[in-house]
Copies of this chain bind each other. A is one copy, B any other.
Amino acid sequence: MLTRIDHIGIACFDLDRTVEFYRATYGFEVFHSEVNEEQGVREAMLKINDTGDGGASYLQLLEPTREDSTVAKWLAKNGEGVHHIAFGTADVDADAADIRGKGVRVLYDEPRTGSMGSRITFLHPKDCGGVLTELVTSAGGEH
Contacts and interface: CB of A to CB of B under 8 A. Distances in A.
A80 B129 contact: yes
Tally of this chain's copies: 2
B102 A25 contact: yes
A27 to B, nearest CB: 7
Contacts of A25: 99, 102, 104, 128
Chain A interface size, under 10 / 10 to 19 / 20 to 34 / 35 or more: 35 or more
A131 B81 CA distance: 5
A31 interface: no
Interface of A: 1-5, 8, 10, 12, 18, 21, 24-28, 48-53, 57, 59, 79-82, 85, 87, 99, 102, 104, 125, 128-131
